[in-house]
Chains A and B, each alone.
Chain A
Amino acid sequence: DTEVTQTPKHLVMGMTNKKSLKCEQHMGHRAMYWYKQKAKKPPELMFVYSYEKLSINESVPSRFSPECPNSSLLNLHLHALQPEDSALYLCASSRRGDTQYFGPGTRLTVL
């Protein structure tokens, strides 16, 4: 089973809202990732958690706040986003730094 699940599938929010994206995997992977993907572009790495600790933050604005409550779950808390933050947000996981398996993504629209 190489499944990574993400909720919600779609999210529309205003610039003053607070929302969260959720990601879950049950493959025993110890690395989890958040990516942002704009239309017709490759995914851009935002954050990496390794063994539930934040190991990489690619200079992401503080209006994006990741959280890893346990080894199976990864959240991305959103606050005061801008319209240019509208994108597909992808979660991925890997055993360590090897093959990454991607979830279906959350399509976010910021009004």
Chain B
Amino acid sequence: AQSVSQHNHHVILSEAASLELGCNYSYGGTVNLFWYVQYPGQHLQLLLKYFSGDPLVKGIKGFEAEFIKSKFSFNLRKPSVQWSDTAEYFCAVNADTYSGAGSYQLTFGKGTKLSVIP
């Protein structure tokens, strides 16, 4: 079974500070990796995803993430955060099956709450 750990429960930053949120997963096989964001009172939105290829993936709103296979990590970064980035961020993983389609079971980390102070 796969598991996902997010290192930080709550991160507080000032505007323009750089952001890095940690995510490590535990699974022996090939995985698909995701970061979702949930703004206050809103639904889960996909920020970015990694299936294969270039391990540095770019997402919406200036976010990027780097897959480091040797470290089982998929950390989320943004060079300069804004107040509007205040949200809950979830890392998620599903196992890639032999057929190339992912497993239906998406495992989420516990989430990191980001508070950006104007």
Using CB atoms and an 8 Å cutoff, list the residues of chain A in contact with chain B.
Answer: 2, 31, 33, 40-43, 45, 48, 50, 55-56, 90, 92, 94, 96-105
Contacts and interface: CB of A to CB of B under 8 A. Distances in A.
A33 B104 CA distance: 9
Interface of B: 32, 34, 36, 42-46, 49, 51, 88, 90, 94, 97, 101-106, 108-111, 113
A42 B97 CA distance: 24
Q: Which of B42, B44, B108, B113 has the most C-beta atoms of chain A within 10 angstroms of its own C-beta?
A: B44
A104 B110 contact: no
A41 B111 CA distance: 7
Contacts of B106: 45, 100
B95 to A, nearest CB: 9
Contacts of B34: 99
